[in-house]
Amino acid sequence: MLLSGLLGGALLQRACANYGIIGKKAAPVAGATKAPSGGERGKSSQSHLGPEVSANLAPSQDARIGGAQKNAPESSPAKNQAPRIALVIDDLGQADMALVQRLCNLDVSLTVAVLPFLQHSRESAAMANSRGKEVILHMPMEPIGYPAAGKNPGPGAVLFEQPEAEVREKVRQAMKEIPFAVGLNNHMGSRITPNAEKMAWVLGEVKKSNWYFLDSRTEKDTVALEVARKLGVPSMARKVFLDDDPNQAEMARQWERALAFAAQDGQAVVIGHIHPETLTFLEAMLPAAKREVIFSYASELAR
Ligand SMILES: [Zn+2]
């Protein structure tokens, strides 16, 4: 990888800037683990995350590598050989539109996950769609520790105490808020995703809309993918968080993990966030990465 120029710099420990929360990483195949950086990641240690976490994404049986690739750049690798990576950028909605513009300038197929009911929610979704990016709803859900500082999932959230009718209504309202959305992933949600009954309510609405579901895996005990599969909702799970630590060298390490997973399984879902540091990393890394992997919309990896 041509990442040597990105290596170095002080090691920063910082959680998701706007929301103070990100999930935990799957088991590393290659590369080091590191200390949790706060938010939900701090709720349990990396040592809990054994191979069973990564086992949630089935290996190559779903490697639709021979399929058509939308917006494939001419420099794409051979479609019957290269692994697929779905790059998903979370937490649009509050972020400045200049950052969204920068994200949309990245010349790969990628998916943006937009939080509802925020200042730039609709505008961000519309811009991403107009620039050929896939849009999904980043559904706010209650995390463990709510309502402590840094544990607020934001407006329109699914909360643990809400009855079924209210949960379903929250999801439907949020869905209407994000134009062009074709799927849903969870923002926070560590209190909800381990609960099969509540996830069935959420995913029942996803199914009605013929959307797909991406389990962000903010909690190791999540059952969301299992519930989605039972309901017949096209789905998959996040494999690597790119920017829990926004240090450039650490993001390079996480990217290498993603490549290793993709090589092993034929595909991998990588989640990053709309942070300036993440965009800087992607701008430097993507031109070379495009020659190694096929960048896909997350929907193309769902099954
Ligand atoms: Zn989020």
Span from the CA of 211 to the centroid of ligand 1 (angstroms):
19
Whether 66 is covered by a domain: the verdict is no
Confidence (pLDDT) at 81: 74
Span from the CA of 66 to the centroid of ligand 1 (angstroms):
31
Confidence (pLDDT) at 294: 97
Q: What are phi and psi of 112, to 5 degrees?
A: -110, 140
Whether 31 contacts 239, CB under 8 Å: no
Span from the CA of 218 to the centroid of ligand 1 (angstroms):
9
Segments forming the whole domain that contains residue 169: 19-45+77-301
Whether 292 is covered by a domain: the verdict is yes
Please report the sign of the dihedral spanned by the C-alpha atoms of residue 51, residue 53, residue 54, residue 57.
positive
Span from the CA of 16 to the centroid of ligand 1 (angstroms):
8
Residue 91, both tokens = 């937490």
Span from the CA of 144 to the centroid of ligand 1 (angstroms):
14
Span from the CA of 22 to the centroid of ligand 1 (angstroms):
7
Angle, CA 29 vertex, CA 28 and CA 31 arms, to 5°: 65
Span from the CA of 136 to the centroid of ligand 1 (angstroms):
12
Whether 37 is covered by a domain: the verdict is yes
Span from the CA of 216 to the centroid of ligand 1 (angstroms):
9
Span from the CA of 87 to the centroid of ligand 1 (angstroms):
14
Whether 249 is covered by a domain: the verdict is yes
CATH assignment at residue 215 = 3.20.20.370
Whether 99 is covered by a domain: the verdict is yes
Whether 67 is covered by a domain: the verdict is no
Span from the CA of 296 to the centroid of ligand 1 (angstroms):
20
Span from the CA of 84 to the centroid of ligand 1 (angstroms):
23
Whether 255 is covered by a domain: the verdict is yes
Confidence (pLDDT) at 45: 34
Beta-carbon count within 10 A of 280 CB? 15
Whether 57 is covered by a domain: the verdict is no
Nearest-angstrom CA–CA distance, 35 and 13: 9
Tens digit of pLDDT per residue, the chain (303 long)? Answer: 444 333 333 333 333 333 333 333 333 333 333 333 333 433 333 333 333 333 333 333 333 333 334 444 444 455 567 999 999 999 999 999 999 999 999 999 999 999 999 999 999 999 999 999 999 999 999 999 999 999 999 999 999 999 999 999 999 999 999 999 999 999 999 999 999 999 999 999 999 999 999 999 999 999 999 999 999 999 999 999 999 999 999 999 999 999 999 999 999 999 999 999 999 999 999 999 999 999 999 999 999
Span from the CA of 186 to the centroid of ligand 1 (angstroms):
7
The gap between the terminal CA atoms of the chain, to the nearest Å, is 30
Residue 157, both tokens = 């959230």
pTM, rounded to two decimals: 0.77
- Whole-angstrom CA distances from 50 to 26, 27, 55, 270 are 8, 6, 9, 18
How many domains, in total, are found in the chain?
Answer: 1
Span from the CA of 127 to the centroid of ligand 1 (angstroms):
19
Span from the CA of 272 to the centroid of ligand 1 (angstroms):
9
Span from the CA of 12 to the centroid of ligand 1 (angstroms):
19
